[in-house]
Amino acid sequence: MREITLSQAVNEAIAEEMRRDETVFLLGEDVAEAGTPFKVLSGLVEEFGTTRVIDTPIAEPGFMGLAVGAAMTGARPIVDLMFGDFLFLVMDQLCNQAAKIHYMSGGKLKVPLVLRTNLGATRRSAAQHSQSLQALVAHVPGLKVALPSSAYEAKGLMKTAIRDNNPVVIFEDKLMYQDKAPVPEEEYLIPFGVANVRREGSDITLIATSSMVQVAEKAAEILAAEGIEAEVIDPRTLVPLDEATLVASVKKTSRAIVLDEGHQSYGVTSEIASRLNEQAFYHLDAPVLRMGAMDVPVPFSPALEDLTVPTPEGVAARARKLCSGDLIHAA
Amino acid sequence: MTKTNTEDYLRMYRQMVRIRTFEDHANQLYLSARMPGLTHMYSGQEAVAVGICEALTDDDKITSTHRGHGHCVAKGAEFSQMFCELLGKEEGYCRGKGGSMHIADQSHGNLGANAIVGGSMGIATGSALRAKLQGSDDVTVCFFGDGATAQGLLYEVMNMASLWKLPVIYACENNGYSEYTKTAEIAAGSITARAEAFGIEAHQVDGQDVLAVNGLTQKLVARARKGEGPFFLELMTYRYHGHHVGDINRGYYRDKAEEQEWKDNRDPITLFRAWLLDQGIASEDEIAAMTAEIEQDAAAAVAHAEAAPYPDTAEVDMHVYAG
Ligand SMILES: Cc1ncc(C[n+]2csc(CCOP(=O)(O)OP(=O)(O)O)c2C)c(N)n1
Ligand SMILES: [Mg+2]
């Protein structure tokens, strides 16, 4: 199968959907000629013109609001938010407005929009350009949340997001834009709420999102060399969450570590760990562990920044302890 | 009152050259892959930072932007601690935690650069509110770009600043571009008229003319100290480099000829140098000696920063909460 980058995959998904449905349009800062600072959207303005690929002023709350209004009245906007950190600027329009309108209108109004943004540290971009804020939006009922972990997921999830009748937030990993993966030429969609078992194993389950999937897979390799078989599962969407697949895996392995690049406290890892405790308690041989980013703003210095994100070695070390029974009474 | 004596003129010139020299070294650090991450060059805009900051004292405050090295130097910062910050070293102004886009230098009243466009507008206005509440006569200058005028926060805080006559000066550096887009494509109507709509006195100034910038700022600062603020300045200027150091192939949004025109005919350092020579304030030799000394300082600061240690790993979870 051909291989393309995550960046090309996103570009293809959006182009295909824009060809299929003329109500789909894009808006955000430097999305047109510049094709975004990460060059993900290059070529779209040439094909679809500036009426469907719209450069906005630096006014995130404003253009987020425009997208909500356009979505309520018959369009399918894709909002490009240059950095995930800027979610804090658009929270009212996204969470008080977009997320609640369908419910508040008794199911009459719909807000079919996609907010595409990113996550991930270790780019030496410091505290305001490095956050992974998926927990924040996953907390708000009414928003769906997708976290592609490769080019394949990026394309399939984006197409599903664009066709969904709800506001969907998609986080791409900035460090993965140039990573290639096999992506079919033929059209495909990845349904929301279906986890992907990336590696089978019988000793421990590593549940990992987005940037942490590669970390979990590398940890699994380290562990395999020592005779510990780790199962690696990528939930792909946080909302909806494929609880059944995660629970079934943990019932089989009886141990789990949940990995996500958001801050550990009150985060994605906490939520998934609680669900496993609630639904697989009698099958567990050890507490479910959480591994997220350290609870600190992301520091600039490389000497500090690299300490804040889970590493394959760190994950393997904790998995080893779990499997040896060392962590029965918590971490 | 406009600065009139020789020492003041020479210091302004020196500060402009210091900014340009700092940026040339920062750019080299990036190009030779010796600096982590990206940085935004201030080169071309020196007369704005220097003209304004030379009208301020250490008690006066500024807030700065992602393109903040110029403001930082102009407000009195040292090369060595700045380069250490750019390289993420412990001796840096923020112990390596902030990096290029977050340098703050409290000892000189620099409340910090900001990586959120428009993110400092509230902070600057809040600093001015504190000055008024506490009966202090310091003034706060809020630096931001033309692109940042699109943020709604600006209009919320200008309204309050005007209602409450706060000692804040909004300094909009219009360098013609907001990232990869021309200002005309993202700013409707007149920028100064927006401030005027709130009853704020606004001026458009040639941002390449350090004497014009300084002269006007001196007057406005004096009036702001007496409670006659706020004020708004739109400073017409130009950035020589790309949006950031990695923005090298920029022909698709900006003409090489346009860049050359500004460098050849509107350079703030060249223009001021010619004036200093013409007025007999400095000789060619004196200026050459000054430039060489600044270059030496910068090279020494870079060497020092490269050899300096990183923060201890134990610092990673220090400073999350204040004691
Ligand atoms: C809230 C926010 N939106 C977008 C960005 C990305 N960004 C950084 S600088 C910039 C352009 C700023 O233009 P301007 O205010 O004119 O300042 P200049 O870069 O010209 O100095 C943009 C869009 C950001 N850092 N913060
Ligand atoms: Mg600008």
| Domain at A177, CATH number | 3.40.50.970
Q: Is the pLDDT of residue B2 over 60?
A: no
What sign for the dihedral angle of Cα B97, B100, B105, B111? negative
- Cβ burial, residue A197 (10 Å; 0-12/13-18/19+): middle
Q: Is the pLDDT of residue B316 over 70?
A: yes
Report whether B173 contacts B120 (CB < 8 A): no
Min distance B20 CA to chain A CA atoms (Å): 23
Q: Is the CB of B66 under 6 A from ligand 1?
A: yes
Task: Pick the residue whose CA is nearest to atom 5 on ligand 1.
Answer: B117
Domain check: are A174 and A85 in the same one? yes
User: Which chain B residue has its CA at the smallest distance from A130's CA?
Assistant: B115
Enumerate residues 112 to 151 of chain A having a beta carbon within 8 A of any beta carbon in chain B.
123-129
- In the structure, what pLDDT confidence band is assigned to residue A325 with cuts at 50, 70 and 90? confident
**Whole-angstrom distance, CA of residue A147 vs CA of residue B194:** 41
Q: How many domains does chain A have?
A: 2
Interface test with A, best of B81, B97, B247, B312 (most A CBs within 10 A): B97
Contact between chains at B88 and A304 (C-beta distance less than 8 A): yes
**What is the predicted pLDDT for the residue at B1?**
44
Q: Give the mean model confidence (pLDDT) for residues B142-168.
A: 98
Q: In 3-state terms, what secondary structure has residue A232? A: strand
Domain check: are A17 and A155 in the same one? yes
Final residue before a domain boundary, out of A138, A156, A182: A182
- The answer as to whether A109 is a domain residue is yes
Ligand 2 midpoint to CA A257 (Å): 46
**What is the predicted pLDDT for the residue at B288?**
98
Closest CA to A230 of A208, A261, A260: A208
**Whole-angstrom distance, CA of residue A133 vs CA of residue A225:** 34
Report whether A218 contacts A40 (CB < 8 A): no
Report whether A120 contacts A292 (CB < 8 A): no
- In the structure, what pLDDT confidence band is assigned to residue B3 with cuts at 50, 70 and 90? low
Q: Under 8 Å CB-to-CB from A184, ≥6 apart: which residues?
A: A1
**What is the predicted pLDDT for the residue at A233?**
99
Domain check: are A136 and A229 in the same one? no
Final residue before a domain boundary, out of A182, A209, A229: A182
**Whole-angstrom distance, CA of residue B276 vs CA of residue B233:** 25
Domain check: are A166 and A239 in the same one? no
- The answer as to whether A191 is a domain residue is no
Closest CA to B205 of B84, B29, B55: B55
Catalytic entry in A60, A217, A231, A305: A60
| Separation of first and last alpha carbons in chain A | 43
Report whether A76 contacts A162 (CB < 8 A): yes
Domain check: are A214 and A250 in the same one? yes
Closest CA to A198 of A241, A239, A237, A149: A149
Interface test with A, best of B90, B94, B116 (most A CBs within 10 A): B116
**Whole-angstrom distance, CA of residue A261 vs CA of residue B33:** 27
Q: Give the mean model confidence (pLDDT) for residues B126-153.
A: 98
| Annotation marks residue A60 as catalytic | yes
Structural domain that includes position A266: 196-324
**Whole-angstrom distance, CA of residue A10 vs CA of residue A12:** 5
* Residue-wise DSSP of B28-93: HHHHTT-SSS-----TT-HHHHHHHHTT--TTSEEE--SS-HHHHHHTT--HHHHHHHHTT-TTST
Contact between chains at A33 and B180 (C-beta distance less than 8 A): yes
- Cβ burial, residue A47 (10 Å; 0-12/13-18/19+): exposed
| Annotation marks residue A129 as catalytic | yes
Report whether A119 contacts A210 (CB < 8 A): yes
Beta bridge partners of A25: A77
Min distance B269 CA to chain A CA atoms (Å): 31
What does each C-alpha distance from A58 to A25, A54, A80, B163, B290 come to in angstroms? Answer: 18, 12, 12, 26, 40
**Coarse DSSP helix, strand, coil percentages of chain B, rounded to the nearest 5 percent:** 50, 10, 40
What is the helix (H) or strand (E) element at residue B10, kind and residue range? helix B6-31
Ligand 2 midpoint to CA B180 (Å): 9
**Whole-angstrom distance, CA of residue B77 vs CA of residue B75:** 6
The domain that contains A250 carries what CATH number? 3.40.50.920
Write the pLDDT tens digit of every residue in B8-34: 999 999 999 999 999 999 999 999 999
**Coarse DSSP helix, strand, coil percentages of chain A, rounded to the nearest 5 percent:** 40, 20, 40
Contact between chains at A302 and B88 (C-beta distance less than 8 A): yes
Closest CA to A63 of B193, B115, B150: B150
- In the structure, what pLDDT confidence band is assigned to residue B5 with cuts at 50, 70 and 90? confident
> Which amino acid is residue A271, in one-letter code?
E
Give B310's contacts in chain A (Cβ within 8 Å): 301-304
Contact between chains at B102 and A300 (C-beta distance less than 8 A): yes
Domain check: are A102 and A203 in the same one? no
Q: Give the mean model confidence (pLDDT) for residues A193-210.
A: 98
- In the structure, what pLDDT confidence band is assigned to residue B4 with cuts at 50, 70 and 90? low
DSSP annotation of B164: T
Domain check: are A9 and A100 in the same one? yes
| Separation of first and last alpha carbons in chain B | 43
CATH 3.40.50.970 fits B6-310, yes or no: yes
**Whole-angstrom distance, CA of residue B291 vs CA of residue B212:** 23
Contact between chains at A128 and B101 (C-beta distance less than 8 A): yes
Question: Does the predicted TM-score (pTM) go above 0.90?
Answer: yes
Q: Which residues in chain A belong to E strands, given as ranges?
A: 3-5, 24-28, 53-55, 76-80, 114-119, 144-146, 168-173, 180-182, 196-199, 204-208, 230-234, 237-239, 256-263, 289-293
**Whole-angstrom distance, CA of residue A14 vs CA of residue A36:** 14
Q: Find the range with the poorest average confidence among A127-136, A267-276, B4-13, B111-120.
A: B4-13
- Cβ burial, residue B150 (10 Å; 0-12/13-18/19+): buried
Q: Is the CB of A89 under 6 A from ligand 1?
A: yes
**What is the predicted pLDDT for the residue at A329?**
56
Task: Please report which ligand is nearest the Cα atom of B176.
Answer: 2
What sign for the dihedral angle of Cα B190, B191, B197, B203? negative
By DSSP bridging, strand A53-55 and strand A24-28 are parallel
ipTM: 0.95
**Whole-angstrom distance, CA of residue B230 vs CA of residue B234:** 14
Domain check: are A200 and A160 in the same one? no
| B45-B49-B52-B58 Cα dihedral, nearest 10 degrees | -170
Domain check: are A206 and A146 in the same one? no
Write the pLDDT tens digit of every residue in A79-133: 999 999 999 999 999 999 999 999 999 999 999 999 999 999 999 999 999 999 9
**Whole-angstrom distance, CA of residue A146 vs CA of residue A155:** 11
Interface test with A, best of B117, B254, B255 (most A CBs within 10 A): B117
Domain check: are A119 and A229 in the same one? no
- The answer as to whether A329 is a domain residue is no
Final residue before a domain boundary, out of A182, A208, A230: A182
Chain A to chain B, count of Cβ pairs less than 8 Å apart? 119
Catalytic entry in A17, A129, A172, A263: A129
Domain check: are A135 and A244 in the same one? no
What is chain B's mean pLDDT, rounded? 97
Q: Is the CB of B116 under 6 A from ligand 1?
A: yes
Ligand 1 midpoint to CA B118 (Å): 8
Closest CA to B39 of B308, B235, B239: B239
**Whole-angstrom distance, CA of residue B140 vs CA of residue B56:** 9
A85 touches chain B (CB under 8 A): yes
**Whole-angstrom distance, CA of residue B89 vs CA of residue B83:** 9
Q: Is the pLDDT of residue A326 over 80?
A: no
By DSSP bridging, strand B181-182 and strand B177-178 are antiparallel
Min distance B253 CA to chain A CA atoms (Å): 8
Contact between chains at B116 and A85 (C-beta distance less than 8 A): yes
Write the pLDDT tens digit of every residue in B248-291: 999 999 999 999 999 999 999 999 999 999 999 999 999 999 99
- In the structure, what pLDDT confidence band is assigned to residue B54 with cuts at 50, 70 and 90? very high
Domain check: are A174 and A256 in the same one? no
Q: Give the mean model confidence (pLDDT) for residues B125-138.
A: 98
